[in-house]
Chains A and B, each alone.
Chain A
Amino acid sequence: MKSILIAALALATGLLVFGAGERTAAAYPQFQLSRDQACTNCHVSPAGGGLLNENGLNVAEGISQWGTKPEFMYKKLDPPSWLLLGGDARGLFGYFQTPFRSLAGFPMQLEVYANAVFGAGLSFHVTAGIRPPETGNKLATLVWSREHYVMWQQHPDEPTGLYARLGHFLPVFGLRLAEHEDYTRRYAGVGLDTEPYGAAVEMIDQTYEAHLSGFVRDRLIDAASVDSGVALYAEARPTTTLAFGAEAMATASKDDYKQRAGLTNKVLLPGDLLIETELIGTRQDIRYARTDAMGVSHQASEIAHQVAGYVLGSKFLNDWLLLDVGLGYFNENVRYKGLDREAFDVNLHWFSTSHVELVLNTRLELIDFHQAVNGRTSPVGAYAALQLHYRL
Chain B
Amino acid sequence: MRAGKDMKRVIMLLAFTACGTTTDDRPRTTEYVTKTVLKDGCGEAQCHSSFANSNGYAFDTVDAVKRTLLFEVKATGSKLINDQSDPTKQPLWSNLRKRNNSDPTEIATDAIAMPLDSPLPEGDVELLLEWLALGTPGACKLPEGTSVCGVSNHSIVTCGDEGEFVFAKPEPGECL
Q: Is the CB of A226 within 8 A of B32?
A: no
Most A CB contacts (10 A, CB to CB) among B60, B98, B117, B162 go to B117
Main secondary structure of the interface of B (DSSP, over half): loop
Binary CB contact string for chain B from 96 to 131 against chain A (1 if under 8 A, 0 otherwise) = 001000000111111111011111111110000000
Q: B116 contacts which chain A residues (CB < 8 A)?
A: 17-18, 96, 98, 100
Asked, given contacts A192-B46, A286-B35, A289-B163, whether A100 binds B113 with beta carbons under 8 Å apart, the answer is yes
Q: Is A20 part of the binding interface, using a Cβ–Cβ cutoff of 8 Å?
A: yes
Q: Is the CB of B109 within 8 A of A99?
A: yes
Q: Is the CB of B53 within 8 A of A369?
A: no
Q: Is the CB of A101 within 8 A of B61?
A: no
Determine the distance from Cα of A378 to Cα of B163 in the docked complex, in whole angstroms: 33
Q: A191 contacts which chain B residues (CB < 8 A)?
A: 44-45
Determine the distance from Cα of A132 to Cα of B44 in the docked complex, in whole angstroms: 12
Interface-lining segment among A48-56, A79-87, A335-343: A335-343
Q: Is B86 part of the binding interface, using a Cβ–Cβ cutoff of 8 Å?
A: no
B 49-75 contacts with A by CB, 8 A = 49-56, 60-63
Q: Is the CB of B40 within 8 A of A338?
A: no
Q: B37 contacts which chain A residues (CB < 8 A)?
A: 332
Asked, given contacts A224-B49, A370-B18, whether A338 binds B34 with beta carbons under 8 Å apart, the answer is no
Contact of A222 among B31, B51, B54, B118 (CB under 8 A): B51
Q: Is A220 part of the binding interface, using a Cβ–Cβ cutoff of 8 Å?
A: no
Q: Is B24 part of the binding interface, using a Cβ–Cβ cutoff of 8 Å?
A: yes
Q: Is the CB of A100 within 8 A of B62?
A: no
Number of interface residues of B (CB under 8 A): 62
Q: A331 contacts which chain B residues (CB < 8 A)?
A: 17-18
Q: Is A318 part of the binding interface, using a Cβ–Cβ cutoff of 8 Å?
A: no
Q: Is the CB of A327 within 8 A of B10?
A: yes
Determine the distance from Cα of A134 to Cα of B45 in the docked complex, in whole angstroms: 10
Q: Is the CB of A340 within 8 A of B138?
A: no
Contact of B51 among A223, A302, A332 (CB under 8 A): A223
Asked, given contacts A17-B116, A288-B29, A381-B118, whether A23 binds B46 with beta carbons under 8 Å apart, the answer is yes
Determine the distance from Cα of A78 to Cα of B9 in the docked complex, in whole angstroms: 55
Q: B85 contacts which chain A residues (CB < 8 A)?
A: none
Asked, given contacts A193-B45, A254-B61, A335-B20, whether A136 binds B32 with beta carbons under 8 Å apart, the answer is no
24 contacts between A and B (CB under 8 A): A97-B109, A99-B119, A132-B45, A134-B51, A137-B53, A222-B53, A224-B49, A254-B63, A255-B34, A288-B29, A288-B31, A288-B138, A295-B161, A300-B27, A302-B27, A335-B21, A336-B20, A338-B18, A368-B123, A370-B18, A377-B106, A377-B107, A377-B122, A379-B119
The chain B residues found within 8 Å of chain A, CB to CB, are 10-11, 14-15, 17-22, 24, 26-27, 29-32, 34-37, 40, 44-47, 49-56, 60-63, 98, 105-113, 115-124, 138, 161-163
